Amino acid sequence: MEVLIILGVLFLALFIIVPLIERSNMRISNETAGKIGRWIWPLIMVSLVIQLIMMMFRD
């Protein structure tokens, strides 16, 4: 039941946030997107390693 509540809240937030972002005139240049893109994969890998370590020491 908790999963359905979480999914419902996420979809509700999605339907509220996406139109607000589309109405704003915030534009990201290709250079800025490239800089952000360089950080995404290393951050994902670090978070996966941290989660793996946390799962190993949980029990």
Residues in Cβ contact with 36 at an 8 Å cutoff, skipping those fewer than 6 apart: 28
Instruction: Tokens for 35, please give them.
Output: 């800089």
What is the reported pLDDT for 4?
93
CA–CA separation, 52 and 45 (whole Å): 11
Q: In the prediction, which pLDDT does 21 show?
A: 83
How many domains does the chain contain in total?
Answer: 1
How much is the pLDDT for 32? 87
pLDDT tens-digit map of 8-35: 999 999 999 888 888 887 788 889 888 8
3-state SS class at 28: coil
What percentage of the chain reaches a pLDDT higher than 70? Answer: 98
Structural domain that includes position 10: 2-56
Indicate the SS3 state at residue 27.
coil
Cα dist. 20→17, 32, 36, 45 in Å? 5, 21, 22, 31
